[in-house]
Amino acid sequence: MEISELGERIYRASHLTGEFVLRSGITATEYFDKYRFEADPVLLDAIAEAMVPLVPAGTEVLAGLEMGGIPVVTALGRHTGLPCAFVRKEAKTYGTCRLAEGAEVAGRQVLIVEDVVTKGGQIVLSTQELRALGAQISEAVCVIDRQLGGAETLAADGIKLIPLLTAADLAA
């Protein structure tokens, strides 16, 4: 499937208009409801397949951020064969008490996987915590970059953002 066709399918499935407060605190009149494309197994599979070429050489673990990054990382792992880590916003206080469940991240080249990036704040926070656990992180991939400063925020923390699509792509 061509990336433009995939973008149209994502747009039709997830684009909403109205007034929405984003995690970053920004109020937006357009919103991409990621759960609408993540809940469609055929569309999610097409997204993951299109993201495979975005995975940098040398990646050893895909790390999906809670909650929206989890379905994306699972589908991407299926297409790449790479193990996945599921990263919580904070470590559990019970059971394993881990921040990252699944694949071990210590000493490994880890790629952050996210669904929609606005300012990049959660990626920065999660990356700092994963680096403290010994993960080597220099890139993050996402399905949609809203182009509201996320790439710049991440770059300031040494993370290159690699989007499948941007807000400009979806507006076209």
Q: What is the pLDDT of residue 164?
A: 98
Find out whether 160 is annotated in a ligand binding site: no
pLDDT digits (tens, 9 = 90+) for 92-123: 788 777 889 999 999 999 999 999 999 999 99
- Mean pLDDT to the nearest integer, 4-30: 90
Find out whether 150 is annotated in a ligand binding site: no
Find out whether 166 is annotated in a ligand binding site: no
Is there a cis peptide before residue 51, judged by omega within 30 degrees of 0? no
Q: What is the pLDDT of residue 79?
A: 98
The candidate with the shortest Cα–Cα distance to 146, out of 164, 128, 166, 163, is: 166
Q: What is the pLDDT of residue 22?
A: 79
Find out whether 74 is annotated in a ligand binding site: no
Q: How many domains does the chain have?
A: 1
Q: Where residue 81 sits, what CATH number does that domain have?
A: 3.40.50.2020
Instruction: Give the whole-number percent of the chain exceeding pLDDT 70.
Output: 100
Find out whether 109 is annotated in a ligand binding site: no
Task: Give the three-class secondary structure for 157.
Answer: coil
Find out whether 116 is annotated in a ligand binding site: yes
The candidate with the shortest Cα–Cα distance to 136, out of 161, 99, 105, 102, is: 105
E strand or H helix that includes residue 15: strand 15-21
Domain enclosing residue 57, as ranges: 3-171
Find out whether 117 is annotated in a ligand binding site: yes
pLDDT digits (tens, 9 = 90+) for 120-143: 999 999 999 999 999 999 999 999
Instruction: Give the whole-number percent of the chain exceeding pLDDT 90.
Output: 84
Question: What does pTM read for this prediction?
Answer: 0.93
The candidate with the shortest Cα–Cα distance to 62, out of 162, 146, 149, is: 162
Q: Backbone dihedral region of 47: left (phi > 0), alpha (psi from -120 to 50 degrees) or beta?
A: alpha
Q: What is the pLDDT of residue 76?
A: 98
Q: What is the pLDDT of residue 117?
A: 95
Going by their DSSP bridges, the two strands 100-102 and 84-87 should be labelled as antiparallel
